[in-house]
Structure 1
Amino acid sequence: MKVGLFIPCYIDQLYPKVAVATLELLERLGLDVYYPTRQTCCGQPLANSGYSHLTYDIDELFTHNFESCDYVVSPSGSCTLHIKEHLHNYKNIGSAQHIKKHIYELVEFLTDVIKVENLKATFPYRVGLHQSCHGQRGLRLASMTERVEVSFSKPKHLLSMVNGLKLIDLTREDECCGFGGTFCVTEEAVSVRMGQDRVADHLNHKAQYITAADMSCLMHMQGILKRQNSNVQVIHIAEILNATL
């Protein structure tokens, strides 16, 4: 299969190691990975701010970049969900529909498409898992405590394959971190307080690292940790799954 690698703009600009880890992990699993060099922002910030009518050119470029791929994979739940639900290309409807049906966040691609059952990864630390809202409630990467359903977590399933990793228990494991994209700008005080509560849960359970499938949530919590002079670090799940000693 030909797998297109979609790297969100904030990862490209601020956390390139996450992009590299994602690429290396997919290649280690024997996949033919294609990276379109002309890719840009997917348009999610515009859509979240009420300007989805201005994303037509972005959608057209995205379709052109990935229309030849069997699957599109991204290390971001929120950007993946945006493409799944909001990609529109009236000049090439067929290709846009194909992409919407075949774009996957990295964790769900590993668990649902290629069904990984063994990873040669080692990460000997105490890790807290943050279940991001877009991934959990939009992509269904994990069950939700507000619903009566069988408990499951695709990120936990993958992390259980990592040698030496100790996944800590949290008091409120599916609580929002407060980032919410443009929400952290329009409701800064609320966003910060929610982030402080989320970070405190990890600190109270002695986490050395906080991981998630969304670097945007981790970026928000990283800022709070730095302001608290904490030694706890954030790390994208792709970096853990690709980690070797």
Structure 2
Amino acid sequence: MPAPSRTRSSAAGTAVWLWPGRALYAGPSLRLGPHSGAVACLAVGVDAPFAVRPATGGELRARTALIAPRVRHRLVMSGDRMVFLYLEPGSADDRACRTGFTAAEGEILAGHRREDALLARAAELSPHTPLPQVTAWIAEATGHAGTSYADPRIAAAARRLIEASRPLPAAPLAAELGLSESRFLRLFRDGTGTSYRRFRLWAQMHRAARALAAGHNLTRAAADGYFASPSHLSTAFHAMFGLTPSALLSRNPVIHCLDPSSDAVT
């Protein structure tokens, strides 16, 4: 069921799609300084190559590169438009995406096997791109289709985390599903590729993004995401993605928040 998407200014052609476990940015080059994040980042130079400069030294020039989590680096762009796909480490998306590259330099992979197709389709991504086209691009990039979960209990748990009106520890959710906490946590990791704690953080980001998409400010977004304050949200966001919410919002994105177990907009 569609929910409001925030159009701060569609003229810039900037969009963000967010699922628990992955996020996609399409828009102007972010021009970030040296940074790292807690997630893997697939960078795509839509109209020109870019350089990845790890903090340890050296430079890798590419049109497509996958940067491992916590690798401090700087991207130097020669073009105007980029696409970034952020993936939870250990997820099916992340594992499949890593197999799609032809070259490696340390913890940075380059030269996606489907690079030409990815570049052509990346150029078509905009705030108004139909969702099936967006998810088809991600499937091509990762070699993995969809975010649905094979175990319906895990799908139900993921949805409960998104919809919960308060922070939800694992124990009561496990009880709702008729499972012991330890059994639930094992099934959850097997089903999502990440821990309950990490997925809950994605769910918090998802709730905060929904508030922003509905037109609310960072104070309301932090509250909706169960963060203690806007600065707590900013710190957590920066640790995950390598930039602050304010830096992202300065690009005037249209924000699309998506269901954790399907490709429907929530």
TM range (shorter): under 0.3
State the TM-score, normalizing by the size of structure 2. 0.25
Whichever structure has more strand as a proportion of its residues is 2
State the TM-score, normalizing by the size of structure 1. 0.26
Whichever structure has more helix as a proportion of its residues is 1
User: Comparing both chains, which one has the higher relative contact order based on Cα–Cα distances under 8 Å and sequence gaps of 6 or more?
Assistant: 2
